[in-house]
């Protein structure tokens, strides 16, 4: 049922006034509630009148006075209180189109929903939005939103997204800019398609919308072995990755001089494929594009180095760590650094080859439990196996039952197959030293 309340926080305003689970929200201040965006912005006022339907059909009104923006403490069934909007594009780089058959149904759902962009950080193309959807973003000042741009060349964008409405991207971005909506832009870069001079033009076009287009993340296309009946695409090589870095560096120098920020940043994968070190900590500012793989290695390096002073040198323990091919050397350096600070700690690092999706996929976040079990069974000689949170569907702070890998294997499945206790660490490395300290024992 739409707008069904599934949770009321203890001690919240909602609990205090008598709102209960299984109540249904009808309106706020006389305005019908269509989805979570309506709720979030109408419920922010200092004085709100809620119209609530009880399970028996009786309708109650609740008058509430509170601080502006203070949360009522209500959660709704389905999160966005509506069905997510399905993507109508057929992008030539879409990862979902490259999944094998037989995986769980939710993995095949393509969303392109501005509400999920605002609430969860998902990227939207704007092609699936009507003018009234754009107007609502402006009316409610929904900001920031994450936008998949890929190219500002109208003809090329129509070709890349296979959507005849995709070419109006700049008009829509300018409309959002004029309304002072902050945007984060993403470009999936494909060799011989939207790289090189096409990429340069796209970056310059978006720079004209700065500061409302706040930054750009450029990520290379990822391809699996399941591309039957899909267009042929190339991947970046050592040479072509270097060329892309050099071209973008020229623009970054200009942008830093003019605004104090590089504005556009390439994901770590470009530097690793090119055999180059990632930029320094200052280059990434507040690491706003971390989940796009932009600055992840630098952040991991900095946070683990800075937390080494908290490593307990009077304890001993043994751990194994798993990662993909791309980050293997970095994780290995981190492990060696920890062992230098405390020689009583044993850390083995294992590089997992992605046989499930194909060896062209080298990032840790797309590894499966099947590959980990196949490649580690009978090999681990430590007490614990540390795995990064981005290998799992949900956040690492949740319980084991909620932590599912892409192939539906759970923590308990890994523990049973490998005969070892699994510990999930934040993929950023923020809690790595704490985990090691907590799972070591006093040296005797």
Q: How is residue 406 annotated by DSSP? A: T
The confidence band for 102, taking pLDDT boundaries of 50, 70 and 90, is confident
The pLDDT assigned to 174 comes to 97
Average pLDDT estimate for 74-93: 68
Given a cut of 80, whether residue 395 has pLDDT beyond it is: no
Given a cut of 80, whether residue 115 has pLDDT beyond it is: no
Given a cut of 60, whether residue 84 has pLDDT beyond it is: no
Given a cut of 90, whether residue 179 has pLDDT beyond it is: yes
Given a cut of 90, whether residue 418 has pLDDT beyond it is: yes
Residue position matching structure tokens 């305003």: 13
- Interatomic CA distance for residues 107 and 154, integer angstroms: 30
The pLDDT assigned to 270 comes to 97
Residue position matching structure tokens 């706003």: 288
Q: What sections of 260-403 are H helices per DSSP?
A: 268-274, 296-307, 328-341, 369-376
The pLDDT assigned to 95 comes to 78
Domains observed in the chain: 5-76 (2.30.42.10), 96-293 (3.80.30.10), 301-442 (3.40.50)
- Interatomic CA distance for residues 291 and 61, integer angstroms: 42
Of the two residues 291 and 345, the one the predictor is more confident about is 345
Instruction: Report if pTM > 0.85.
Output: no
244 near 266, Cβ under 8 Å? yes
The confidence band for 144, taking pLDDT boundaries of 50, 70 and 90, is confident
The confidence band for 91, taking pLDDT boundaries of 50, 70 and 90, is confident
429 near 334, Cβ under 8 Å? yes
The confidence band for 41, taking pLDDT boundaries of 50, 70 and 90, is confident
What is the rounded end-to-end Cα distance, in angstroms, of the chain? 60
- Interatomic CA distance for residues 14 and 331, integer angstroms: 46
- What is the helix (H) or strand (E) element at residue 198, kind and residue range? helix 196-207
The pLDDT assigned to 117 comes to 44
Question: Torsion angle of alpha carbons 179, 183, 279, 386, nearest 10°?
Answer: 150
- Contacts of range 305-310, beta carbons closer than 8 Å, 24 or more positions apart: 305/337, 307/430, 307/432, 307/433, 307/434, 308/337, 308/338, 308/341, 308/433, 310/433, 310/434, 310/437
- Contacts of range 304-308, beta carbons closer than 8 Å, 24 or more positions apart: 304/334, 304/337, 304/338, 304/429, 304/432, 304/433, 305/337, 307/430, 307/432, 307/433, 307/434, 308/337, 308/338, 308/341, 308/433
- The percent of residues in the chain predicted with pLDDT above 70, rounded, is 91
Average pLDDT estimate for 290-312: 94
Given a cut of 70, whether residue 113 has pLDDT beyond it is: no
| Tokens linked to 394 | 């949900």
SS3 of residue 339 by DSSP? helix
Given a cut of 60, whether residue 356 has pLDDT beyond it is: yes
Average pLDDT estimate for 269-276: 95
Within a 13 Å sphere around the CA of 247, how many CA atoms are in the beta-carbon half?
19
The pLDDT assigned to 403 comes to 79
Of the two residues 441 and 444, the one the predictor is more confident about is 441
The confidence band for 106, taking pLDDT boundaries of 50, 70 and 90, is low
């Amino acid at each position: 049922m739409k707008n069904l309340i599934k949770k009321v926080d203890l001690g919240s305003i909602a609990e205090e006034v008598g709102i209960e689970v299984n109540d249904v929200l009808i309106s706020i201040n006389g305005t019908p509630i269509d989805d979570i965006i309506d709720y979030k912005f109408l419920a922010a006022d200092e004085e709100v009148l809620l119209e609530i339907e009880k399970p028996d059909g009786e309708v109650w009104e609740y008058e509430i006075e509170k601080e502006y923006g203070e949360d009522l403490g209500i959660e709704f069934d389905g999160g966005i209180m509506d069905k997510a909007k399905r993507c109508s594009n057929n992008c030539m780089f879409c990862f979902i189109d490259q999944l094998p058959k037989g995986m769980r149904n939710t993995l095949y759902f393509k969303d392109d929903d501005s509400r999920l962009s605002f609430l969860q950080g998902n990227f939207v193309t704007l092609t699936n939005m009507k003018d009234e959807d754009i107007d609502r973003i402006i009316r409610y000042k929904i900001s920031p939103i994450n936008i998949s741009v890929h190219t500002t060349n109208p003809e090329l964008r129509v070709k890349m997204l296979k959507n005849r409405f995709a070419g109006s991207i700049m008009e829509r971005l300018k409309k959002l800019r004029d309304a002072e909506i902050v945007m984060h832009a993403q470009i999936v870069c494909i060799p011989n398609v939207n790289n090189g001079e096409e990429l340069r033009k796209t970056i310059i076009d978006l720079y004209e919308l700065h500061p409302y287009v706040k930054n750009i993340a450029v990520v290379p296309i990822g391809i699996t072995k399941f591309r039957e009946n899909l267009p042929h695409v190339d991947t970046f090589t050592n040479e072509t990755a270097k060329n892309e870095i050099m071209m973008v560096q020229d623009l970054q120098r200009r942008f830093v001089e003019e605004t104090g920020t590089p504005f556009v940043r390439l994901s770590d994968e470009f530097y690793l494929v090119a055999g180059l070190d990632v930029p320094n900590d200052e280059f990434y500012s507040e690491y706003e594009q971390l989940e796009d793989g932009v600055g992840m290695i630098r952040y991991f390096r900095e946070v683990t180095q800075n937390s080494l002073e908290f490593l307990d040198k009077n304890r001993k323990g043994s751990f194994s760590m798993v990662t993909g091919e791309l980050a293997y050397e970095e994780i290995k350096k981190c492990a060696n650094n920890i062992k230098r600070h405390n020689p009583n700690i044993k850390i083995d690092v294992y590089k997992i080859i992605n046989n499930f999706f194909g060896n062209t996929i080298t990032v840790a976040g797309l590894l499966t439990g099947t590959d980990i079990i196949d490649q580690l069974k009978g090999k681990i000689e430590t007490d614990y196996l540390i795995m990064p949170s981005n290998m799992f569907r949900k956040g690492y702070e949740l319980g084991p039952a909620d932590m599912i890998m892409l192939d539906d294997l759970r923590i308990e499945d890994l523990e049973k197959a490998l005969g070892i206790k699994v510990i999930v660490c934040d993929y950023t490395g923020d809690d790595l030293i704490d985990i090691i300290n907590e799972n070591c024992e006093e040296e005797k």
